Every structure is written in C-alpha cells, then in structure tokens.
Amino acid sequence: MALFVQKYGGTSVGSIERINAVADRIIHTVQQGHQVVVVVSAMSGETNRLINLAHQVAPDSASSASRELDVLMSSGEQVSASLLSIALVSRGFSAISLLADQVGIRTTSAFGKARIVSIQADILREHLQHGRIVIAAGFQGRDEENNITTLGRGGTDTSAVAIAAAINADECQIFTDVEGVYTTDPRLEPNAKLLKTIAFEEMIELASLGAKVLQKRSVELAGRFNVKLRVLSSFIPFNKDTSDQGTLITYEESELEELLISGIAATKDEAMISFSNVSVDFFSGADVLSLLSDKSIEVDMINQSLDSKLDNKEIDFAFTVGLDDFKATMSLLRQYVEKNENICSESMQGSETVAKISVVGIGMRTHAGVASKVLSTLAKEHIPVLLISTSEIKISVLIDQRYTELGVRALHNAFELHM
C-alpha cells in the first residue's frame, strides 16, 4: 500500500464529464489498496473568468494583487473540490473536500504570490486513517491574520507538493493534459520524445525556462523535501500501473537514463538591450545594472566585450530582461543616456523580437563539447547567435525570434533527442 498525492489540473477537471472521469481514476487507485489525497485546480478557464469579473467591476483591480482578488480567485478551487467529492460520495466512497484553512495551510501574506509556511499534517492523516479520500483545494492558503491567500498562477502544483512533503507521501502525481515532460515542446518539434525520467535539477531549469508543465516553485519545493514527483496524463486509460507512466522527476542518478542532454526549451519571454561602442570612461555596466535592480528588474543573460586595442577603450554591453520589464527598462535607460552626454543615444538599442533556446542536461557536467555543438549546429543553419550564457547543466543562446523553430529542431536533431 502506498500513499499518493494526486493533483488534477484545470483541464483534468474542466467539465462534469472530466470530473466523473477523475473520480473513476481515484477510485481505481483506492481499489488497488492505496491511500490518496487529491489536490485540485479550478475548472479550466475559471480563474481567468473570475479575474475578468473583477476587471469589469473595477478595471485596475484585476491587474494588481490584493486581498479581495485572492478571496475571489480561490473560489474556483472550492467548486472543483466539492464537485469531485460529490462525485466520489455518489459512487459510495467516503470522501471529504477541504479548503486550505481546513487543512491548516498557513502562508505568508503576499497576496497573489504567497508562500506556504506550514501545513497541519495531522488533520490529513486523521481523515486518511478513517478511510476517507481527501480532496484539498489547491492554490490557496491562509495568512497569520486569517486572510485567504493564493500562491500564484499554477500554484496548485505547489499545494500538492507541499501536502506530499507534509504527509510524507510515497509519490506526488501531477495529472495534466500532456503525457509528461518531453525533450522539447512537441508543437515546435513533432519528433519530441516523452522522457521516462528527468533529474530534479534539469526539471528546475526547464520549469524556469517556461516549460509550462509544472510551476517552478513546486519543483523547488519538491527538491527541498525530496518529494518524488511524477507528471502524467489524466486522459489516458488507467488500467496500467502508474509506476511506468509519464515522467518521473528523480534525485537518484541511478534511476536516470544516461543522456547527455535531456531537453531543449525555447522562450520568447525575454527582450535584449545592447550598448555598442561605448567608451569605458563614460559608461559602466555596473551602473546600468544597479539602475535596474533598484527597480527590482531582473537581468538574465549578460555579455560584455572590451576592445582594448584602441586607445579610446570601447565596450559592447548587452543583456536581457523579461519581456514584461522591457518598457520600464528602456525608459530608465533612455534617461540614463540622456543624462550622460558622452553616450550617444544611437549606441543603445532594444529588441523585443528575440528568443532564448536552452539546452539542458546534467550529462554536461562530465562531457565537454556541448557548447561547440550548439554553436556549430546553429551556424550550419545560418542562425546568428546574439548572446550566450551557460551554467553547469545548461547552455542558452539568444537568437532572432523567427529562427526559434528552426533552431529547436536543428538542436533536437543534433543531440539525437528523437532516438
């Protein structure tokens, strides 16, 4: 007998038909002798619908996080949790839906992006001991002042992992509408392959690179508590054992296939700003970056090159920020350039039409030559590389957006990920 936390996302509970199908799947798990705590998202589209209602009442209210918006948004999960529980009870099973407060999920007070501080595991355990299937509403919590909070979009993943950690579950199963984690986005590369396993560090990288399958915070949390995570589809028949379905995110190197590269991610959510041929006497990359950090604007890739052959030392300086921060960044830097009469305004340029492709794999730690393969592959396709950044297990290149698909496919092929 195992103890599973099963998370069902919005599309998995997106209709009455789907809720009934999920109920059947849960019953199947229970009938195999397992204990289950279920964590649900709102029915698909519901959270957006609620935000839109707030927008209609007061246009500004929906764009900034607030206490009331969290009260509103959290209601979606209450509906799906209760409906699922009703479905289970009507089939003769003992089930109970619980809101965050009833499970003792305490969070910080950061509305719209609260962090879980603690969970009262004994409440959950007691229900399990009574043979009940617990259906917990995801995405929500309570702060110290008893306000309802939410954990950020996609936060039900994090609720599930936190509950799994609190009750020491054998596995946290994230049911979604895709079969698991793929070597790359199948919409970009139809030959993308489903990964049976992926290392936890690789998953962290892929989640931060915009692979939408898991909220990044949930993966970080899983890592902190060594929660075994599996991503799998709620749409495929459930006559099979789940232990060979989907993708297992693992901490044990022995469970991994020996792959140099596990995945390739592409994101268009960044923008590039570059300064070219600016004199070191008047320009400082540090000043530019601190202007941005003062406004909490995060910088991702950075490159600086110095042409020291010239008497008048000049540098090229380029970096990326999140697309959302692009406008604010440009206006800050325009002011900086205006104030600085020795930097001409043409030396600064911004581009929103870039894409970052990242090749991720823990195999890189022990194998050389990945960077050269990335660059030579892109060169063969005549794709200019604008910026490069690397970490121990990742190489990212910034390119023009129109080459995204071509670049992903070429790299997928070069690293033989379809095999």
Q: Applying CB under 5 A, which residues contact Mg ion?
A: 9, 154
Which residue from 14, 141, 154, 361 is in contact with ligand ASP, where contact means CB under 6 A?
Answer: 154
Q: Could you tell me the smallest distance in angstroms from the CB atom of residue 150 to ligand ASP? A: 8
Q: Taking Cα atoms as reference points, which of 36, 42, 41 lies closest to residue 5?
A: 36
| 149 is a contact residue toward ligand ASP (CB under 6 A) | no
10 binds ligand ASP (CB under 6 A): yes
Compute the least distance from the CB of residue 50 to ligand ASP, in Å: 9
Confirm if 230 and 219 have CB atoms less than 8 A apart. no
Stretch 85-124: interaction string toward ligand ASP, x if CB under 6 A: ----------------------------------------
Residue 14 sits in the site that holds ligand ASP (CB under 6 A)? no
- What is the pattern of x (binds ligand ASP, CB under 6 A) and - over residues 46-75? -x----------------------------
Which of 266, 262, 282 lies closest to 355, judged by CA? 266
The least distance separating ligand ASP from the CB of residue 218, rounded to whole angstroms, comes to: 9
What is the token pair recorded at 274?
A: 């570059």
Provide DSSP, 53-105: HHHHH-TTTTTS--HHHHHHHHHHHHHHHHHHHHHHHHTT--EEEE-GGGGT-
Cα(414)–Cα(319) distance, rounded to whole angstroms? 27
The CB-of-42 to ligand ASP minimum distance in angstroms stands at 4
CB of 206 to ligand ASP, least distance (A): 18
Q: In this complex, which beta carbon is closest to ligand ASP, that of residue 176 or of residue 396?
A: 176
Three-state SS at 280: coil
132 secondary structure, DSSP code? P
In the list Mg ion, ligand ASP, none, the entry touching 417 (Cβ below 5 to 8 angstroms by class) is: none
- Cβ neighbours around 266 below 10 Å, total: 22
| Cβ closest to ligand ASP, residue 130 vs residue 212 | 212
Comparing CB distances to ligand ASP, the nearer of 218 and 404 is 218
Residue 76 touching ligand ASP (CB under 6 A):
yes
Q: Maximum Cα–Cα distance for the chain, whole Å? A: 84
Residue 330: C-alpha distances to residues 71, 336, 338 (Å): 35, 10, 12
CB of 45 to ligand ASP, least distance (A): 9
Q: Indicate the residue whose CB is closest to Mg ion.
A: 154
Query: Cβ atoms within 10 A of the Cβ of 281, count?
Result: 10
Q: Measuring CA to CA, which residue among 174, 186, 326, 163 is closest to residue 245?
A: 174
Where do contacts with ligand ASP occur on this chain (CB under 6 A)? 9-10, 41-42, 47, 76, 138-139, 153-156
